[in-house]
Amino acid sequence: MRDVPLHIAHAVRLPGPFGDAEEKIAQGRSAVQRSAALVDRFEKVARTAFPGLTVAGELPLGDPAGTLVERSAEACLVVLGHRGGGGFPRLPLGSVSLQVATHARCPVLVMRPGAPVEPPSGRVVVGVDLVHESGYDASEAVQFAFAEADRRAAHLQVVHALHLPALLPAPGGVTGGLTGVEPAARETEDSARRLLDERIAGMSGRYPDVPVGVRIDWARPATHLTELSGQADLLVVGSRGRTGLRRLLLGSVSSEVLHTAHCPVAVVPSVADG
């Protein structure tokens, strides 16, 4: 458990200015009362589960996504639920969760329904993008993943999925076997492994008790990470920034796994995105 205070925030969106004034006042009062009761219930749950934890409830007024993004500037982690409408039990991701994951200044953890709160051990998977032109440095995601694996006493799996060039025959399966494939493919895999080893070298020294495995897989990244998430307690991905767009883009892989992963997903922004 992190040794930091917990702030439980439930943003209250008040009725618009149009319509009967008394009715709007009544609606606003009702919304605040419902939100206050909800926050109070969650505070009691948190204090019961973690008696020594400092817990504070907040009822900020305004747009939920904008409010949480603003709060993220002073937080070490924002935790959200995976909530969506429609008749699909797994696919939809709530718009608030997606907006906050896209624009937050700190890591965002999106929990899935029924996910265990604190697994004592297991596996943390981090997807690493090695394409430097993307404008994202994966070191923050790797560092976050190491810290989480250490905190959970879990095994860390560092994964990079390579797109298979159209001119090459497909390797057997998604897990790498490149026997018989052109030397260019082997060189690509070896280069990716060297870059991954560089990314994790310093972190292994800081977290010597974390067992680490490295995977270089030939597969579609989002699909592959979704498959791996089925055997993980946590999936960590990066939030990819773009010069001039100031993090208006989350990145297609991160966005897709937020919708499809089987376990909680942590989206970690780079320092350059702040």
Least confident of 86-95, 180-189, 197-206, 215-224: 86-95
User: Topology of domain 123-273, per CATH?
Assistant: Rossmann fold (3.40.50)
Residue 51 has pLDDT above 80, yes or no: yes
Closest CA to 111 of 268, 270, 258: 258
* pLDDT, position 93: 64
pLDDT tens figures, 217-263: 888 889 999 999 999 999 999 986 433 343 444 678 888 899 899 99
Phi/psi region, residue 182 (left: phi>0; alpha: psi -120 to 50; beta: rest), is: beta
Percent of the chain past pLDDT 90, that is, above it, reads 39
Q: For all residues of the chain together, what is the average pLDDT?
A: 80
Domain ranges of the chain: 1-62, 123-273
| Helical (H) or strand (E) element with 72 | helix 64-72
Q: Write phi, then psi, for 111 (nearest 5 degrees).
A: -85, 145
Q: Which long-range contacts (CB under 8 A, 24 or more apart) does 187-192 make?
A: 188/162, 189/162, 189/216, 189/218, 192/130, 192/160, 192/162, 192/216
With cut-offs at 50, 70 and 90, classify the pLDDT of residue 100: very high
Percent of the chain past pLDDT 70, that is, above it, reads 75
Q: pTM to 2 decimals?
A: 0.81
* pLDDT, position 113: 72
The CA-based dihedral angle spanning residues 92, 252, 67, 141, taken in that order and rounded to the nearest 10 degrees: 110
Tell how far CA 154 is from the center of its chain. Answer: 17
Q: Residue 10 and residue 236: Cα distance in Å, rounded?
A: 25
pLDDT tens figures, 119-158: 555 999 999 987 654 445 578 999 999 999 999 999 999 9
The CA-based dihedral angle spanning residues 242, 244, 245, 246, taken in that order and rounded to the nearest 10 degrees: 80
* pLDDT, position 83: 67
3-state secondary structure of 140: helix
Q: Which tokens in the block code for residue 176?
A: 């790498």
Least confident of 72-76, 106-110, 147-151, 170-174: 170-174
